[in-house]
Amino acid sequence: MLAKANRIVRGDDFRRIVRTGRRAGCELAVVHRTEPEAAVARFGFIVSKKVGNAVIRNRVKRRLSEIVRAELGDIETSDIVIRALPAAGTADFATLSAGIAPLLVRR
C-alpha cells in the first residue's frame, strides 16, 4: 500500500487530474498526469466494473499500487491517476508492470 501522503482520495482531485492532465496510455491502462498540489508524487486508481467483479478489481488495484510503489523513486513529482482498462483484469502482474511502468516515468 502507498503511504498516505502519496494517495489521492478526494473526488475533486480525481476530476481535476482526469480533465486537465496529460494522457498516456496502452492497452491496459490510461495514465493522467498533471502538476502537483503537494511536494510529493500522489497517485489515484480508477478501476471500473468493466474490468471485472470486485475480486478482480481489487486485485488490479493492489497490483497497480505495487507497481507504483516499486517505481516511486523514478517518478517525477506530479499528481497521477491511473485508469485501468478492461484488459487489465485478465493481465498477469508481469504484463501489467511492463505496460504501466514506462508510462509512469514518461515526462
**Can you say whether the dihedral through the CA atoms of 28, 33, 37, 40 is positive or negative?**
positive
Check if the beta carbon of residue 93 is closer than 8 Å to that of residue 63. Answer: yes
The pLDDT, as a whole number, for residue 74 is 84
Q: Is the model's pLDDT at 67 over the cut of 80?
A: yes
CATH class of segment(s) 4-105 = alpha beta
Q: Please report which confidence band the pLDDT of residue 14 belongs to, taking 50, 70 and 90 as the band edges.
A: very high
Looking at residue 20, its amino acid is T
The 10s digit of each residue's pLDDT in 17-49 is: 999 999 999 999 999 999 988 888 999 999 999
